[in-house]
Amino acid sequence: MIDTHLPALVVVLPLLGGLLAVFAGRGVLPWLWATLVASATFAATIALLMKVQAEGVVTYAMGGWQAPWGIEYRVDALSATVLVVVAAISCVTTFYARLSVAKEIPKDRHNFFYSLWLLCQAGLLGITITGDAFNIYVMLEISSLTVYGLIALGGNNDRRAFTAAINYLVIGSIGASFILIAIGYLYMMTGTLNIADMSAKLTEFYFKDEQLYGTKNATIYVAFAFLMVGLGIKMALFPLHTWLPNAYTYAPSAVTALLAATATKVGIYMTIRFYFTIFGVQFSFGQIPNRVILMACACFAIILGSVIAIRQTQFKKTLAYSSVAQIGYIVLGFSLLNVSGIAGSIVHIVNHAMIKGGLFMAVGAVAYRTRVTSLDALSGLGKRMPLTMAAFTAGGLSLIGFPLTAGFVSKWYLVTGALESGLWPLAIVVLIGSILALIYVWRMIELIYFAEPREDAPTREAPWSLLLPTWVLIGASIYFGIDATLTGGLAESAARMLLGNP
Amino acid sequence: MNQFEIFNYWIYVLIMMIGFYGVIAKKNLVKKVISLGLFQTGIFLLYISMAVVEGGVAPIADFKDPNAVYANPIPHVLMLTAIVVSVSITAVALSIVVRIKLAYGTIETDEIEEMDGAE
């Protein structure tokens, strides 16, 4: 009974849970409720992944209305993987949130905070699981609206959070509106909103038009152009990343960890869905010089993102710009259009979620003990907070792509993919990116272990309820660095599915 | 196809671009929020226009007339959702603008940037 409704549960649980969290009152109860809901959702996604691995694609007709008329939920290897990542990170960050939120957000707002928190997860999971184009837009707006609110909550500590939130709101709404326009044009051409149906009709229309009239169908091109910009904003692809650094820097610590690990990843998932599933490789990369554009943006993101990260004086901002660079790696991966490249980009979605989530949690643990966020606040913390800093160092090494870390696995796939396509300059860009990452990570490690502690440096280790979730993510990233059969296997089967040769 | 037939689409682009210009060029945050609303309203017009069927009537089943032509109801329904989204965005934006006014004492982006730069 519950088995058949699993896909619906994944979205309904956090959606209803989020609404109910408002009534949980004050104190520890809202957190307890959020933890319960997030854990249940995580369990549901795991069950779903196992079902997909056993039976193949799982579909679910919302409310019993059959596709293509009703809203269809569709789970394949790719969406199941992303679902598990999002739900796992949400679950771990919810555990982490209790102390961090208690410190950074006024007591009377906790129920609202956890309400937004769960609704945001519902939106992100909804984007991933849905098989309906308009539903993607609705879920996108659910997750975006809650994220704007969550970022603005950081304004209780630093007023710049408000400006970061309004900037993201304006840019993000324009991006989402562009996606809405594109979906409108696609609906105009195909008369359907179901992704599978739309994809079949689109290819048919496009090539029929060219045969019959000898001209290209302009509407589809316009839709594609709007999508490229809208999706670029949502996944923070250089040069559309301007909202990201401030939003990550001034949001509450727990929110930064959740955002950095999930929000942009889901944006990338959407991009892959639109480019590969709806338009198809033949159109997205054959008819439009999209491949060159994506590769150029990705290379700029990797190099410039890392260079700007080196120049930052606040450690949260360094990590935020490093995220811009990491998104470059992921985009570079799928624009290679071969199994290794796409698998590399999916593996990096998983790995980077763990690495950045863990890093921002370690940063949050530092913020819990000291208010200062400038780079030299890290001085000598290796002696004062050894466990937190060990996690931070392990995460940093993974960002560089040090062997035996998760980052190495992703980069291995990417370099292999680049060489398979014969594009060795891209492999060099990946290596230069690693060297630049070495510089900004080393600057922090040097301060942590080889500098004298400042006078206002914290004297105690972070509490265990912050340390444990941090180490869960960092430990997972080390585990998947040593044994990548699970992530690699999932990613490769998803990559084959996207390229249409299972 | 004469230009008058696609009159609605011209207006949609016009409204949308006026809004887009406002979002980029205006320094006052409330004006930015108004422009954002205008931008999204343009999109509603796009969807509503595409629902038109020549000679179509409101899509309420008329069993007496089996040959009745109906306008496509789906875009209208989609826009109901989009209107709700647009209103929510305006509400969230305005509440953040209120907090900005309280924290900075101004809602002009250039003045806010100056104050942030000084910190």
Contacts of A169 in chain B (CB under 8 A): 89, 92-93, 96
Give pTM, 2 decimals: 0.91
Residue A125: the pLDDT is: 93
| Angle at which helices A290-310 and A218-234 cross, to 10° | 20
Residue B6: the pLDDT is: 79
* DSSP line for B13-58: HHHHHHHHHHHHH--BHHHHHHHHHHHHHHHHHHHHHHT--TT-B-
Residue A169: the pLDDT is: 93
The mean-pLDDT minimum among A171-175, A389-393, B2-6, B35-39 falls in B2-6
A134 inside 8 A of chain B by CB: yes
B96 inside 8 A of chain A by CB: yes
Give the best residue of A177, A229, A314 to mutate against chain B (max B CB count within 10 A): A177
| Chain A nearest C-alpha distance from B66 (Å) | 23
Taking CB atoms and an 8 Å limit, are A177 and B40 in contact across chains?
Answer: yes
| Chain B nearest C-alpha distance from A82 (Å) | 25
| Chain A nearest C-alpha distance from B13 (Å) | 11
Residue B91: the pLDDT is: 93
Residue spans per domain, chain B: 7-118
SS3 label, residue A116: helix
Q: Between the CA of residue A103 and those of A370, B61, B65, what are the distances in Å?
A: 11, 59, 67
Q: Per residue, what are the HEC states of B90-108?
A: HHHHHHHHHHHHHHHCCCE
Classify residue A132 by its DSSP letter. B
The torsion angle over the Cα atoms of residues A287, A293, A294 and A298, rounded to 10 degrees, is 170
Distance between CA atoms of residues B67 and B4, nearest Å: 28
Contacts of B117 in chain A (CB under 8 A): none
B65 inside 8 A of chain A by CB: no
Classify residue B5 by its DSSP letter. T
Residue B31: the pLDDT is: 93
Q: Which of A141, A148, A181 sits opposite B43 (nearest CB)?
A: A181
A170 inside 8 A of chain B by CB: yes
Is residue B83 over pLDDT 90? yes
| Helix, strand and coil in chain A, % to nearest 5 | 80, 5, 15
Q: How many CB atoms lie within 10 A of CB A214?
A: 7
Among A124, A269, A242, A121, which residue's Cα sits nearest to residue A172? A242
Phi/psi at A188 (5° precision): -55, -45
Distance between CA atoms of residues A309 and A317, nearest Å: 7
Please give the CATH number for the structural domain made up of B7-118. 1.10.287.3510
Most distant CA pair in chain A: distance in Å? 77
Whether the CB-CB separation of A303 and A426 falls below 8 Å is answered with no
Residue A491: the pLDDT is: 85
Give the best residue of A139, A153, A157, A173 to mutate against chain B (max B CB count within 10 A): A173
Residue A214: the pLDDT is: 67
Q: Which residues pair with A61 in a beta bridge?
A: A72
Residue B110: the pLDDT is: 85
Give the best residue of B78, B86, B95 to mutate against chain A (max A CB count within 10 A): B78
Residue spans per domain, chain A: 289-502
- Amino acid (1-letter code) at residue A225: A
Residue A268: the pLDDT is: 92
Instruction: List chain A pLDDT tens, one digit each, 502 residues.
Output: 567 888 888 889 999 988 888 888 777 888 888 899 999 999 999 988 888 888 888 888 887 788 778 888 888 888 898 999 999 999 999 988 888 888 888 888 888 889 999 999 999 999 999 989 899 999 999 999 999 999 998 877 788 889 999 999 999 999 999 999 999 999 988 888 888 888 888 877 777 777 777 677 788 888 889 999 999 999 888 888 888 888 888 888 889 999 988 988 999 999 999 988 888 887 778 777 888 888 899 999 999 999 998 888 888 888 899 999 999 999 998 888 888 888 899 999 999 999 999 999 988 888 888 777 777 777 777 778 888 888 888 888 888 888 888 888 888 888 888 888 888 888 888 889 889 999 988 888 888 888 777 777 777 777 888 888 899 989 888 888 888 888 888 888 888 888 876 5
Question: Exposed (0-12), middle (13-18) or buried (19+): which is A94, by Cβ within 10 Å?
Answer: buried
In the block, which residue shows the tokens 């907090």? Answer: B99
Distance between CA atoms of residues A346 and A81, nearest Å: 9
